[in-house]
């Protein structure tokens, strides 16, 4: 009997014992930087001659780890092992599969700060952001374990005289799991755990920027006794491996979280039927966002400004849910712009191993160049009121940057930058602000700060996003509490961390026996 699911509380680093434990975890991880990380094929660690370095974005002279470089022969081995493992894994009862997740969650709780410390170095998360990422990973494991048990139990059906009825949730076959680097543990664990617990052998290919933290997860799952072949783990060239996984006729499910551009390519490729393919491929695609915070004229301004700044600059704005557009009612506009700019300027930027730093570095040189390109473009589209340049030289840092007086159709308001750049626009009135928030091809998250009941109700109906937050910031969804996924170009709205999610990895079989 399992206790009810509840989200994992975050670590309170203001308590000296927790801060000391995190310092110790950082020191221990630092001593292990630069190691070599294997593939996992058919239950075995596999090393390769060629490796690819994963570097510390805040200090790019430091190699966090050397990840094995998988080639086509490794991927082939993963597919063959998955097919071999499938018959036994699909017959393993859901509650037994769930136990692997529960055991993995327990191991993660024991190593919680160590896992967070790896993320501080590998993707430049602050302590708080890294701790939240681990907590979310644990939550996915706990939540999907319970969901699997629910799906494995009797399902409600209308009784029918003379027939014995049953509905079973069956797996589909090999799943290709392709996560992004920005929640390198949480999203990786969530997609993988869902695919596995539903009974699908899974090949996991992490983003090339974050192979080490994913490697730790693959190792943990194997320590938990996962049968050989049920999880294949390949690292290397993300685009080459990822597209080979998507195109392979043996793949039945693609679970992808990443950019719109790559996701659209996967949607197209997954629709092509190849020789030897049995069944349609399912593509679960969670893509980008250009999320808005709306500040109405009568709201709690302190809460709104704090929420807008946290949502724009937390983890350097590198969240799909980041509030990169701020739409402000004209009556409070000047006050909000001045205060947001002041607070953005006050944010600390530097290596996140130092707890004092709110923001770390951008993930890589490409992200840095892209963000600085938007900062330059922004100078022609708005009024720079904060930041606008690079941070410390050792890493790929960008100062928190704010442009005011940006129009809705400007690139800064339309394109996902995925960096610490906030565009603020002046709305004539509430109706204008609402229309502006919807003036995007994306539809992931949105926040409205208002005390006007009619406006809040209107936003519930008309703000077209998968995750709407009223009088709170638009980042920080919790598993089981805020099922997560977006509309329109933000993807297939899979609602990760919700009751609908596991169904995407199953096919239901209805069975009736005449009595």
Q: Indicate the angle between helix axes 238-247 and 260-270, nearest 10 degrees.
A: 30
Least distance between ligand NAD and beta carbon 442 (Å): 9
Measured from the CB atom, is 22 or 283 closer to ligand NAD?
283
The Cα–Cα gap between 163 and 515 comes to: 5
Contacts of 320 (CB under 8 A, 6+ apart): 182, 257, 286, 287, 288, 289, 291, 444, 445, 486, 490
DSSP H or E run through 240: helix 238-247
The string of DSSP codes covering 134-170 is: HHHHHHHHHHHHHHHHHHHS-------TTEEEEEEEE
Query: ∠107-112-114 over CA atoms, to 5°?
Result: 110
The Cα–Cα gap between 82 and 331 comes to: 60
Residue 333 engages ligand NAD in binding (rule: CB under 6 A): no
Residue 416 engages ligand NAD in binding (rule: CB under 6 A): yes
The tokens for 49 are 């001659």
* Among positions 115, 320, 340, 421, the unique one binding ligand NAD when judged by CB under 6 A: 320
Q: Fill in the DSSP letter of residue 227.
A: P
Distances (CA, A) of 173 to 144, 198, 367: 18, 10, 35
Residue 207 engages ligand NAD in binding (rule: CB under 6 A): yes
* Among positions 64, 98, 132, 246, the unique one binding ligand NAD when judged by CB under 6 A: 246
Least distance between ligand NAD and beta carbon 378 (Å): 19
Single out the catalytic residue among 286, 299, 416, 474. Answer: 286
Contact range with ligand NAD by CB under 6 A, out of 96-104, 196-204, 285-293, 345-353: 285-293
Residue 418 engages ligand NAD in binding (rule: CB under 6 A): yes
DSSP H or E run through 510: strand 506-514
Measured from the CB atom, is 191 or 386 closer to ligand NAD?
191
Query: What residues numbered 209-238 form the site for ligand NAD, per CB under 6 A?
Result: 238
> Number of H helices and number of E strands within the chain?
15, 21
Measured from the CB atom, is 307 or 486 closer to ligand NAD?
486
Residue 132 engages ligand NAD in binding (rule: CB under 6 A): no
Least distance between ligand NAD and beta carbon 195 (Å): 15
* Among positions 262, 283, 402, 459, the unique one binding ligand NAD when judged by CB under 6 A: 262
* Among positions 184, 190, 289, 307, the unique one binding ligand NAD when judged by CB under 6 A: 289
Residue 242 engages ligand NAD in binding (rule: CB under 6 A): yes
Distances (CA, A) of 172 to 162, 278, 289: 31, 10, 30
Residue 182 engages ligand NAD in binding (rule: CB under 6 A): yes
The Cα–Cα gap between 363 and 51 comes to: 19
Contact range with ligand NAD by CB under 6 A, out of 108-116, 120-128, 391-399, 484-492: 484-492
CB 178 within 8 A of CB 241: no
Least distance between ligand NAD and beta carbon 326 (Å): 18
Least distance between ligand NAD and beta carbon 266 (Å): 6
Q: Fill in the DSSP letter of residue 251.
A: -
The string of DSSP codes covering 169-187 is: EEE-S-EEEE--SSSTTHH
The tokens for 173 are 């076959």
Measured from the CB atom, is 142 or 286 closer to ligand NAD?
286
Least distance between ligand NAD and beta carbon 401 (Å): 18
* Among positions 486, 497, 501, 502, the unique one binding ligand NAD when judged by CB under 6 A: 486
Query: What residues numbered 71-90 form the site for ligand NAD, per CB under 6 A?
Result: none
The Cα–Cα gap between 116 and 422 comes to: 27
* Among positions 208, 252, 282, 325, the unique one binding ligand NAD when judged by CB under 6 A: 208
Query: What is the total residue count of the chain?
Result: 515
| Residue 320: active-site member | yes
Least distance between ligand NAD and beta carbon 444 (Å): 6
Number of residues that bind ligand NAD (CB under 6 A): 31
The string of DSSP codes covering 34-51 is: TEEE-EEETTEEE--S-E
Single out the catalytic residue among 320, 339, 416, 474. Answer: 320
The tokens for 94 are 């859901």
Least distance between ligand NAD and beta carbon 489 (Å): 10
The tokens for 200 are 């699908």
Beta strands of 268-341 (E only): which ranges? 282-286, 291-295, 323-329
Distances (CA, A) of 25 to 20, 118, 120, 123: 9, 9, 11, 16
Least distance between ligand NAD and beta carbon 372 (Å): 17
Contact characters 440-479, ligand NAD, x per CB under 6 A: ----x-----------------------------------
Measured from the CB atom, is 210 or 359 closer to ligand NAD?
210
* Among positions 259, 277, 471, 507, the unique one binding ligand NAD when judged by CB under 6 A: 259
Supply the residues annotated as catalytic.
Answer: 286, 320
Interface positions with ligand NAD (CB under 6 A): 178-183, 187, 207-208, 238-239, 242-243, 246, 257-259, 262, 265-266, 286-289, 320, 416, 418, 444, 486, 490-491
């Amino acid at each position: 009997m399992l206790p009810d699911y509840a989200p994992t509380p975050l670590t309170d680093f203001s308590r000296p014992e927790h801060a000391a434990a995190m310092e110790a975890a950082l020191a221990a991880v630092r001593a292990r930087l630069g190691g070599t990380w294997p593939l996992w094929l058919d239950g075995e660690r596999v090393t390769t001659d060629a490796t690819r370095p994963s570097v510390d974005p805040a200090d790019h002279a430091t190699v966090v780890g050397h990840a094995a470089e998988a080639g086509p022969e490794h991927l082939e081995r993963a597919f063959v092992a998955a097919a071999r493992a499938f018959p036994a894994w699909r017959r393993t009862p859901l509650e037994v599969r769930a136990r692997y997740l529960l055991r993995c969650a327990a191991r993660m709780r024991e190593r919680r700060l160590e896992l967070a410390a790896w993320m501080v170095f590998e993707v430049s998360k602050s302590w708080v952001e890294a701790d939240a990422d681990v907590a979310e990973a644990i939550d996915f494991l706990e939540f999907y374990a319970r969901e699997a048990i629910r799906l494995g139990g009797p399902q409600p059906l209308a009784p029918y005289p003379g027939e014995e009825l049953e509905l079973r949730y069956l797996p589909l076959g090999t799943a290709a799991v392709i996560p992004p680097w920005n929640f390198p543990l949480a999203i990786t664990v969530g997609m993988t755990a869902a695919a596995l617990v539903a009974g699908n052998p899974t090949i996991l290919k992490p983003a090339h920027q974050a192979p080490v933290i994913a490697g730790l997860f693959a190792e943990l799952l194997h320590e938990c006794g996962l049968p050989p072949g049920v999880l294949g783990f390949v690292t290397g060239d993300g685009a080459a491996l990822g597209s080979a996984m998507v195109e392979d006729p043996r793949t039945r499910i693609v679970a992808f979280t990443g950019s719109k551009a790559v996701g659209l390519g996967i949607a197209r490729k997954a629709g092509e039927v190849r020789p030897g393919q049995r069944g349609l491929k399912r593509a679960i695609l969670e893509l980008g966002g250009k999320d808005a915070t709306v500040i109405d004229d009568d709201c709690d301004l302190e809460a709104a400004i704090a929420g807008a700044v946290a949502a724009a600059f937390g983890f350097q704005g590198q969240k799909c849910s980041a509030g990169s557009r701020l739409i402000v009612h004209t009556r409070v506009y000047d006050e909000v712009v001045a205060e947001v700019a002041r607070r953005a300027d006050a944010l600390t930027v530097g290596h996140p191993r130092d707890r004092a730093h709110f923001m770390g570095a951008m993930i890589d040189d490409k992200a840095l160049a892209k963000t600085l390109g938007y900062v330059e473009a922004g100078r022609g589209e708005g009024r720079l009121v904060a930041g606008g340049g690079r941070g410390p030289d050792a890493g790929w840092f960008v100062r928190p940057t704010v442009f005011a007086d940006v129009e809705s159709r400007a690139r800064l308001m339309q394109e996902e930058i995925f960096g610490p750049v906030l565009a603020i626009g002046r709305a004539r009135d509430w109706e204008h602000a609402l229309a502006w928030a919807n003036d995007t091809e994306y539809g992931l998250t949105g926040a409205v700060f208002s005390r006007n009941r009619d406006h809040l109700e209107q936003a519930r109906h008309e703000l077209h996003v998968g995750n709407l937050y009223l009088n709170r910031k638009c980042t920080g969804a919790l598993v089981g509490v805020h099922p997560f996924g977006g509309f329109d170009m933000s993807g297939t709205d899979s609602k990760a961390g919700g009751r609908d999610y596991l169904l995407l990895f199953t096919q239901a079989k209805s069975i009736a026996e005449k009595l």
